[in-house]
Structure 1
Amino acid sequence: MTTTDSGVRQRTRRAILEAAAALWARDFSASLGDIADRAEVSRSTLHRYFPERQALVDALLLDSQESLEEAWSTAVAASSTPIETLENIMGAIVDLADRILFLFSDPARFEGNPHWRADDDDGMSDLIRAAQASGDLDADIAPTFVMGVMYSLIYVTAESVAAGTLPRHKATETVVRIFRHGLTARS
Structure 2
Amino acid sequence: MTTIDSGVRQRTRRAILEAAATLWARDFSASLGDIADRAEVSRSTLHRYFPERQALVDALLLDSQAQVETAWDAAVAASSTPIETVENIMTAIVDLADQILFLFSDPARFAGNPNWRDDEDEALPDLIRAAQRDGDLDPAIDPAFVIGVMYSLIYVTAESVSTGALPRHKATETLVRVFRHGLSPRA
Q: Where do 1:77-92 residues align within 5 Å?
A: 77-92=77-92
Match of 1:34 in 2: 34
Deviations 1:30-58 (A, max 9, x none): 00000000000000000000000000000
Task: Return the letter of the residue paired with 1:97.
Answer: A
> In the aligned structure 1, how far is the partner of 2:29 from the partner of 2:57?
11
Cross-structure match for 1:64: 64
Give the corresponding residue for 2:181: 181
- Cα deviation for residue 4 of structure 1 reads 1.0
Write the distance in 2 (CA, Å) between the matches of 1:180 and 1:119: 25
Supply the distance in 2 between the matched residues of 1:170 and 1:41 (Cα, whole angstroms).
Answer: 32
Alpha-carbon shift at residue 123 of structure 1 (Å)? 1.6
Partner Cα separation in structure 1 for residue 122 and residue 77 of structure 2: 15
Runs of 4+ displaced beyond 4 Å: none
Alignment match, 1:5: 5
Residues of 2 paired with 1:19 and 1:185: CA distance?
Answer: 38
Is 2:142 aligned against 1:142? yes
1:122 CA drift (Å): 3.6
Query: Does 119-128 or 57-66 show the bigger shift?
Result: 119-128
| Shift of residue 168, structure 1, vs aligned partner | 1.1
Measure, in 2, the Cα distance between the counterparts of 1:108 and 1:53: 17
- Give the aligned partner of residue 43 of structure 1: 43
- Separation in 1 of the partners of 2:150 and 2:182? 12
Residue matched to 2:130: 130
Q: Does 1:101 align with 2:101?
A: yes
Query: Which AA in structure 1 matches 2:101?
Result: L
Q: How high is the TM-score relative to the length of structure 2?
A: 0.98
Deviation at 1:170, TM superposition (A): 1.2
Tell me the equivalent position of 1:156.
Answer: 156
**Cα distance per residue 1:55-99 (max 9 Å; x no partner):** 000000000000000000000000000000000000000000000
Give the Cα separation in 2 of the matches to 1:14 and 1:178.
33
Which residues of structure 2 form unaligned runs of 5+? Answer: none
| Alignment partners' CA distance in 2, 1:78 and 1:170 | 21
The residue type equivalent to 1:139 in the other structure is: P
Greater shift in the superposed pair: 165-174 or 85-94? 165-174
SS in 1 for 2:115: coil
Q: Unaligned regions of 5+ residues in structure 1, if any?
A: none
Q: CA RMSD in A?
A: 0.8
CA distance in 2, matches of 1:118, 1:23: 23
1:120 Cα offset (Å): 3.0
Q: Percent identity?
A: 82
1:119 Cα deviation (Å)?
Answer: 1.2
